[in-house]
């Protein structure tokens, strides 16, 4: 069973709908014990980094870290991926999980913000999540802050600078784009997560 973590930020319908479409066994939950009991964790999110403060308030932070360190497959999407880093300039008082090093930063002023639309992926070899995804495939983004390039990066995006489009380390996966909004490419990525 995949637990989609509900911490009151934004709308989780589209992620649930995509996993339902793939026939996955899914529960949307805000309960720490349900998160701990799940086989896989999906942390969605869109909007402001400060909304992640709700994870701490609901006791979900510990549950998420416990599940991640227990080796359960964990996918962070958009803000959910940014949470896997140390934090974000968008809201310095909320701490990320620190699983990946560095902080999320704003795009340079040379480009419009937010970064909205379909952008291509520069995929690196060896990713389990992006297995079978063609080089330069297009995925849909909507965000104003981005994660830094790190050694765990499995795909890069380009928008005024290079940023981490996908990261992966062991059982921990993160994507800055929205696979649930990225057509067949996105569904294939979610299917990989279901099967990992």
Q: Round to whole Å and give the CA distance between 15 and 147.
A: 21
CB 59 within 8 A of CB 34: no
CB 105 within 8 A of CB 71: no
- Beta-carbon contacts of 145 under 8 Å, excluding residues fewer than 6 positions away, are 49, 82, 88, 89, 90, 104, 105, 106, 107
Stretch that binds another protein, among 25-33, 66-74, 162-170, 183-191 (CB under 8 A): 183-191
Three-state secondary-structure class, residue 62: helix
Min dist CB 32 to another protein, Å, is 24
180 is catalytic: yes
Q: For the window 24-63, what string marks contact with another protein as x by the rule CB under 8 A?
A: ----------------------xxx---------------
143 is catalytic: no
131 binds another protein (CB under 8 A): no
Stretch that binds another protein, among 6-14, 36-44, 57-65, 145-153 (CB under 8 A): 6-14
Q: Round to whole Å and give the CA distance between 172 and 29.
A: 20
Helices 13-21 and 183-195: angle between axes, nearest 10 degrees: 70
13 binds another protein (CB under 8 A): yes
Pick from 27, 145, 158: nearest CA to 96: 145
Among residues 7, 49, 85, 159, which is the contact residue for another protein, using CB under 8 A? 159
91 is catalytic: no
Among residues 119, 124, 131, 162, which is the contact residue for another protein, using CB under 8 A? 119
162 binds another protein (CB under 8 A): no
140 binds another protein (CB under 8 A): yes
CA distances from 43 to 11, 16, 145 (A): 12, 11, 17
Q: Round to whole Å and give the CA distance between 134 and 71.
A: 28
Q: Round to whole Å and give the CA distance between 141 and 118.
A: 6
Min dist CB 71 to another protein, Å, is 30
When the beta carbons of 59 and 108 are compared against another protein, the nearer one is 108
| Residues with a known catalytic role | 78, 178, 180
Residues at the interface with another protein (CB under 8 A): 10-11, 13-14, 17-18, 21, 46-48, 112-120, 138, 140, 142-144, 158-159, 180-184, 186-187
């Amino acid at each position: 069973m995949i637990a989609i973590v509900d911490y009151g930020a934004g709308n989780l319908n589209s992620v649930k709908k995509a996993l339902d479409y793939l026939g996955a066994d899914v529960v949307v939950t805000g309960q720490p014990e349900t998160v701990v009991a799940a086989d896989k964790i999906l942390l969605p999110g869109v909007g402001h980094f400060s909304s992640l403060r709700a994870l701490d308030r609901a006791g979900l932070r510990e549950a998420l870290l416990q599940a991640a360190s227990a080796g359960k497959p964990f996918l962070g999407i958009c803000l959910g991926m940014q949470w896997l880093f140390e934090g974000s300039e968008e809201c310095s008082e909320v701490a990320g999980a620190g699983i990946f090093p560095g902080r999320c930063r704003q795009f340079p002023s040379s480009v419009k913000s937010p970064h909205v639309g379909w952008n291509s992926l520069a995929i690196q070899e060896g990713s389990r999540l992006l297995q079978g995804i063609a080089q330069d495939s297009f995925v849909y983004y909507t965000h104003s802050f981005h994660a830094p390039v790190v050694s765990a990066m499995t795909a890069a995006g380009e928008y005024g600078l290079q940023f981490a489009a996908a990261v992966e380390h062991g059982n921990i996966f993160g994507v800055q784009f929205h696979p649930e909004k990225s057509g067949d490419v996105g569904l294939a990525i979610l299917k990989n997560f279901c099967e990992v």
